[in-house]
Amino acid sequence: MAMKHLAAAIALAGIFGLAACDQNSDEAAAIGEEVAAESGDAGDAQGAFDAAEAGCRAAADALAIWTARPWADAEGTVTGGDVATIRVIRPGDMVTKDYRTDRLNVELDENDVVTRVYCG
């Protein structure tokens, strides 16, 4: 009898786990719709999503030249108009796995040297 309950619990955990994976794509679409609604064109959510991602990619490309250099030197080179959020990630920092088209992630090493720059 205990095996039946265990099997049912495992099956439910799998179903809920798959539902959580789909949530990230729903959240990304919701962000695009929100940006489109704010710009007055709710019908073109994908265009707003793409525009936000393009802005972040441009900022990431501009900041990529600072790879292997101290973050203190690079920090002031990113303008607020390119991205909504700059997330600095140091070794051991816990971060969320949600994807944000308007967020620039900057990974640093233990000496605060830029090791990676990417959007998301």
Residue carrying structure tokens 């990230």: 24
Contact 85, 105 (CB under 8 A): no
- For the cut 80, the answer to whether the pLDDT of residue 60 exceeds it is yes
∠ CA 96-103-109, rounded to 5°: 70
- 65-86 pLDDT, tens digit per residue, is 888 889 888 887 776 566 888 8
pLDDT exceeding 70 applies to what percent of the chain?
61
Beta-ladder partners of 87: 105
Residue 86 structure tokens: 């700059």
Least confident of 12-16, 36-40, 59-63: 12-16
Q: What is residue 37's predicted lDDT score, i.e. its pLDDT? A: 57
**Residue 64 scores a pLDDT above 70:** yes
Phi-psi region of 91 (alpha: psi -120 to 50; beta: other; left: phi over 0): beta
In order, the DSSP letters of 74-88 are HGGGS-TTT-SEEEE
Domain ranges (residues) in the chain: 2-119
Which position has the higher pLDDT, 98 or 76? Answer: 98
On the question of pLDDT at 23 being above 50, the answer is: no
Grade residue 94 by pLDDT with cuts at 50, 70 and 90: very high
Helix (H) or strand (E) holding 47: helix 45-63
Q: Tell me the pLDDT of the chain averaged across its residues.
A: 73
23 burial (CB, 10 Å; 0-12 / 13-18 / 19+) is exposed
Superfamily (CATH) of domain 2-119: Trypsin Inhibitor V, subunit A (3.30.10.10)
Higher model confidence: residue 85 or residue 92? Answer: 92
